[in-house]
Chains A and B, each alone.
Chain A
Amino acid sequence: MAVLLWLPLVAAAALAAVSYVLRARPWTIWLPVALAGLLLGVGLALVVFVRTAGAVTAGGAALRVDALSAWLLTAVGAVAVVALWGGVPHRDDRGDVGLFATLLCLFLGAMSLALLADNLGLMWVAVEATTITTAFLVGMRGGRGALEAAWKYVVLGSVGVAIAFLGVVLLYAAGRAVAQPTLSWVELMAGAAQLDPMLVKVGGALAVLGFATKAGLAPMHSWLPDAHSQAPAPVSGLMSGVLLSVAFYAILRVQAVVDAALGPSLMRTLLVAAGLLSLAVTGALVVTQQDYKRLLAYSTIEHMGLLALGAAAGGRLAIAAVLLHVLGHGLVKASMFVVAGRILGYVGGHRIDAVRNLLRTRPDLGAPFLIGAAALLGFPPFVTFFTEVAIIVAGFQRGLGWQMVVACGLLLVVFAGIARHVLAMTLGADPTPVRSDHSEALMPDRPTRWRQVPIALALAAAALLGFLGWPLADTLLQAAAALGGAR
């Protein structure tokens, strides 16, 4: 089974090399899609295996997969399949795609390494590598906007992650009283009682603060709307759908170590503050938003805020809901960004008021956009409805009563803001309707049916996931247990 742990890393490196060497061939654009499929397969196999046989290690225990990392690897694979397959450019405008494919393969490999490493240092290296591989992807479109987005993304991302590194260094130093200081979070959790409490406190807080920058939690979120609005659609989808969740996974691991050493109060305070602030920032900025890709980016900040609140609540229900939410939100958000990319190709601009009556003029774009937005807003039967309710209920159960009341109020504001814009875009009357007898003339880049498949699959999965709670429950509860269980 250890070979399964190496497979994503080796495959990512190999496919990156192939797509670089053969970068003139248009078909290399399919290599990252294949890699995403492989990650999904490996993730599912590991979920099944770990469920019966427990955690798997490889590479002298530098790599380790338990239920939590296997679940997240599956989520990365599933979301990446949707974002990359859906985002494959039209046959006519595939230029020099090989370099794009190379960076995407390396990006997927870096995310896999972050999930597979049982070592805070190695995990940090992998998280920083995701910034490196995505920097040029964000700035790929060219122009001043893309340059500004890339600059902010790299500077804020690396400074934030540098703070996390300072935290990792201090957590390592916290073990100096014990014979051998360690970076393995399994050993850190096992020996938590002997760690220097002051260093754990400072180190843990810095690490969470740093990784929160990468996870897009307020108040360290300012790079996120810029990067997401400027990056090509599949990259925005991947960043929003899973990169932020991978950074959030780092927060969960650090939280588990700090909680084991000091009790839950420190991390709970930090995460509640970041969560509520993220919801508030989203609420304040979606209402007056004028750019639909930024609207989606702010919605991501909202969902990261919800995850932070879930992690703050802790316990089996909240953590299981958080993990299910990562997958549900990732699938929906990736499809939304892919559709947003197609809308951009259709109307040629980012402005919300340039897009009207999409459901009539372009039902192939309007329908998934409207359905996806319903899922993002937490309508049943989508899984986001169940997970959001579960996070709020768990919060009440675990003594975060008023915080959850505030969160519900903020969620209503976000709901109103996003719903208003999406309804205007999909159903709102077009002030200057284009009259043409040739309906095809209105749809120059109408996607073929084949390109609608990943979107349909993702939205269908998001609708069904909530009802699959029973077969998934074991895995999710095991994953919660890996974080210290019912704290």
Chain B
Amino acid sequence: MSAQLYDQLLATTTGLLLLSAVLLVWTRSIRQAVGVLVVQGVALAGLVLCIGVRAQEPEAPLAALLVLLVKAGLMPWAMLRTASSVGQGHAGGSRLAPAMQLLGAGGLTVLAYGVSGPLQGVAPDTAARAVPVGLSLVLLGFWQLLTRSSAFSQLVGFLVLDNGIAAIAFLTSGGLPLAIELGVTLDVVLVVLILAVLVVRMQREQGTVDITELKELRD
């Protein structure tokens, strides 16, 4: 792979990651959110493949395939399944006005670019220079978790957070060893499935997936 092509592919995939994360902050429909998550998963898999091939890692296609299957296949499928079993098409409201939410997301992206200098090391290569994108995803995932009140949006926020961490892992060190990566992926899949089961139970218990309704336990 030529250096120019590598740079272009890296810019495309990281650009897609950031764009999809901002879109997720904005979107209200579950179907749309899941669609955007699929795009984000494909972009992440592309990033993994691109970095792996460049570093001539023999495991790269396998790692990329794993990311593609899980992040662009399994997780979105689980989300859709859950949405249809609780019969909701709308990802619920936010604790903030949409404009404020987007403004906050923009601010966090700028913040990510501002503070990620130290993570890029002394002589950053193209990949390390894209670390702010990963950090933006992490912060935007948090933003979703903090500001959205629907359990679905929380799930989406968690997935964006996780995608961000995976992006940082690949951008800074070319990814963890494949065996560890497998274990981590399995854990994340199981956590998402457990959360999905809890969402279904929530709908059954209280007739809504709004987490602000969870207020039994207080001091």
Contact = CB atoms under 8 A, between A and B. Distances in A.
A159 B145 contact: yes
A165 B158 CA distance: 13
Contacts of B211: 151
B216 A199 contact: no
A149 interface: yes
Given A121-B184, A144-B216, A176-B173, 12 more contacts: A125-B180, A128-B188, A132-B194, A135-B198, A144-B206, A148-B214, A148-B215, A149-B217, A158-B158, A169-B172, A199-B119, A289-B219
A9 to B, nearest CB: 13
Contacts of B219: 225, 285, 288-289, 294
A147 B198 CA distance: 7
Contacts of B158: 155, 158-159, 162
Interface residues on B, range: 35 or more
Interface SS of chain B? helix
A65 interface: no
Nearest to A133: B190
Interface string B184-199: 1011101100110010
Contacts of A124: 184
Nearest to A172: B173
Given A144-B216, A159-B158, A132 B187 contact: yes
B205 A162 contact: no
B18 interface: no
B201 A147 contact: yes
Residue picked from B138, B168, B184, B195, most chain A C-beta under 10 Å: B184
The 4 closest A-B pairs by CB, nearest first: A121-B180, A125-B183, A173-B172, A173-B173
Given A166-B165, A196-B121, A230-B217, A132 B180 contact: no
Given A145-B217, A199-B119, A176 B172 contact: yes
A323 B161 CA distance: 34
Interface in A150-190: 150-152, 154-155, 158-159, 162, 165-166, 169-170, 172-173, 176-177, 181, 183
Contacts of B119: 170, 173, 198-199, 202
Contacts of B110: none
Nearest to A168: B176
Contacts of B201: 139, 147
B184 A158 contact: no
Contact of B161 (A125, A159, A198, A230): A159
A99 interface: no
B130 to A, nearest CB: 14
Contacts of B198: 135, 139, 147, 150-151, 154
Contacts of B191: 128, 131-132, 154, 158
B184 A151 contact: no
Interface SS of chain A? helix
Interface string B2-43: 000000000000000000000000000000000000000000
A162 B118 contact: no
Nearest to B191: A158
B7 to A, nearest CB: 20
Contacts of A145: 216-217
Residue picked from B151, B168, B177, B180, most chain A C-beta under 10 Å: B180
B119 to A, nearest CB: 6
Interface in A434-473: none
Nearest to B180: A121
B183 to A, nearest CB: 4
Nearest to B154: A155
Nearest to A198: B118
Interface string B112-153: 000000110110000000000000001000100100000100
17 contacts: A124-B184, A125-B187, A128-B187, A132-B187, A145-B217, A147-B202, A151-B211, A154-B195, A155-B154, A155-B195, A158-B158, A162-B161, A166-B168, A172-B176, A173-B169, A183-B180, A198-B118
A202 B184 contact: no
Contact of A122 (B145, B183, B202): B183
B172 A170 contact: yes
Interface string B153-182: 010001001100100110011001100100
A244 interface: no
